[in-house]
Structure 1
Amino acid sequence: MTPRLTADFWVRAYLARLRLADIPAYVIARGDATAGAVIVKCARLDGTALALHRSFDLASGRRAWVVLADGPEPQVDALLARQRARDPDLWLIEIEQREGRTLLDEPGLAD
């Protein structure tokens, strides 16, 4: 079994990858450094946003990024506020990328 990275380490590595791709990113909420879940919100700069979270694909048994919300940014923000209220250990990262590119499908981030 491959050891899992701490949430803090993963977030720092993700932010570095985004910086290298010239994608602005912000940590909106810091969660538990060791085991906090991570949600990535992508603001498309057109009034819409996409929120992704890590989950397990039951068919393959592998971890995968899945859509939590997709639509008008105020509705996505409201959902994220409710998620954060329920889980104070949750990390929220916001990126700004017109095409919705998150890099989460790239090696090292996808799984």
Structure 2
Amino acid sequence: MSNSELRSDIWVQALLRTAQTQGAAGFVVRRGDDTAGAVLVKVALLNGTARLLVPARDGAGERLYLDLTGKTAGPDEPSIDAYLSKRASQDQDVWIVEIEDKLGRSFLVERVE
């Protein structure tokens, strides 16, 4: 089973555990559908800025994450939070995970573009 086939709840647990073992903090801000909810990742740099990473698929169907920082929202935390709030109101299944890391690491094993 590839990472793209993991249940959302298990994938989120693994992401949070990875962040914590590397010295960062990770939180579930909003819990979505356990089996197939999309997971949006906010990486807070603890200086008022953040990164916004959203899931996508490449042409071969492989899971990757798109960095929307400065494109759709951000890099300031309030604009990213507003985007995440809007997405959550539109999609009841979506997960929102926040990673707090001064180095800006996402801990994603998927490709980030």
- TM-score under structure 2 normalisation? 0.85
Residue aligned with 2:105, SS: coil
What is aligned with 2:51? 50
CA distance in 2, matches of 1:56, 1:97: 26
Letter in 1 for 2:79: Q
d(CA) in 2 for partners of 1:18, 1:79: 23
Give 2:64's aligned residue: 64
Change (3 A) 1:33 1:61: closer
Q: 1:101 aligns with which of 84, 102, 105?
A: 105
Shift of 1:62: 2.2
Runs (4 or more) in structure 1 with deviation over 6 Å come to none
Distance 1:52 1:78 in 2: 14
1: CA distance, partners of 2:66 / 2:92: 21
By how many angstroms is 1:51 displaced? Answer: 1.1
Q: Which runs of 5+ in 2 are unaligned?
A: none
Instruction: Kindly state the Cα deviation for residue 67 of structure 1 after the two structures are TM-superposed.
Output: 1.3
TM-score, normalised via structure 1 length: 0.87
Question: CA-to-partner distance for each residue in 1:12-40, whole Å, 9 max, x for gaps?
Answer: 11111111111101100000001000011
2:66 maps to a residue whose letter is V
| Identity within the alignment, % | 40
Q: Does 1:90 find its partner at 2:91?
A: no
Offset from partner CA, 1:51-95 (integer Å, 9 cap, x none) = 10110123x542211113341110010000000000011110001
Provide the aligned C-alpha RMSD in A: 1.7
